[in-house]
Amino acid sequence: MGGTYIRYGGYLIPCLTLSAEEQRFIGVWGQRHKRYLKEHKRAVYITLLTSGRLDSYLADIEEQAQERFERIVEQMKQVQGITEQLKAEIQMEWVARMNNIQVCAREIVDKEMIYQ
């Protein structure tokens, strides 16, 4: 049948645990995508879960989403002229503008990668 199974009574139950070397970090982006899959793409979620590829898939999404988020933030900072000089001179304006950029970047990543 493929994979590993544990005999429980008269049944063979698939072993869905990961070895220590296969475990990778799944952060907020991966958790959001997992919740989306569970609620809206149930067949995809079950397929990934039962094949043992769910955690690897979510870790890939996490890495890609984080890289995309950081790239968007840097691009938006350059376009809007947000510099370390602004940070040193007018901290509250810098914080407000950075918060705005991060919210916008988060929405872009959510739309492009997480909720699709």
Stated length of the chain: 116
Q: State yes or no: pLDDT of 18 exceeds 60.
A: no
pLDDT band of residue 2 (cuts 50, 70, 90) is low
CA distance 57 to 103: 25
Query: Angle at Cα 111 formed by Cα 25 and Cα 49, nearest 5°?
Result: 45
| Percent of the chain with pLDDT strictly greater than 70 | 93
> What is the reported pLDDT for 17?
66
Q: What is the pLDDT of residue 19?
A: 55
CA distance 58 to 49: 11
The confidence score (pLDDT) of residue 20 equals 54
Please tell me the pTM assigned to this model. Answer: 0.78
Please give the backbone phi and psi of residue 2, each rounded to the nearest 5 degrees, phi first: 90, 150
Q: CB–CB of 113/66 below 8 Å?
A: no
